[in-house]
């Protein structure tokens, strides 16, 4: 299932130069990843209620083109690596009108229990594991 998160830029997310402040892109990626999970039947709240969290381990973001208030981003989160314990999400982030790539981005995560100890979802939650495992698109395929 392809999933694209559409995000309109708010004025308050811009800086003195009128462009989106660089720190906001990390929030946009998180929003897109959470909406992807919801679209796949895995709301983050349900995972947490079941005792699992997915903390971020790394964030990579290369800024390519600026956007301003009123612009619309199309953010496509793609699971490019997943082994049951760790996951890498690569993002296609483009500006809707022009199709320009706005940022190149990737986040890395691990799955943990309530005590923040790593867990293997394949063993602990096979139904959740299956959703992530089925969604993997290797980076070499993009």
Annotated active-site positions, please?
15
Contact between residue 50 and residue 44 where contact means Cβ atoms under 8 Å apart: no
Contact between residue 45 and residue 83 where contact means Cβ atoms under 8 Å apart: no
- Beta strands per DSSP E along 5-131: 5-8, 56-63, 72-82, 86-95, 101-110
């Amino acid at each position: 299932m392809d999933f694209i998160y559409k995000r309109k830029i708010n004025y308050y997310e811009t800086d003195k130069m009128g462009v989106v402040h660089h720190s906001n892109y990390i929030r946009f990626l998180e929003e897109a990843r959470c909406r992807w999970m919801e679209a796949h039947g895995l709301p983050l709240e349900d995972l947490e209620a079941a005792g699992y969290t997915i903390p971020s381990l790394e964030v990579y973001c290369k800024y390519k083109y600026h956007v301003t208030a009123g612009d619309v981003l199309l953010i496509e989160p793609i699971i490019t690596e997943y082994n049951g314990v760790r996951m890498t999400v690569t993002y296609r982030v483009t500006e809707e009108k022009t199709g320009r790539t706005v940022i190149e981005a990737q986040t890395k995560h691990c799955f943990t229990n309530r005590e923040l100890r790593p867990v293997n979802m394949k063993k602990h939650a096979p139904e959740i594991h299956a959703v992530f495992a089925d969604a993997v698109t290797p980076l070499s395929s993009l």
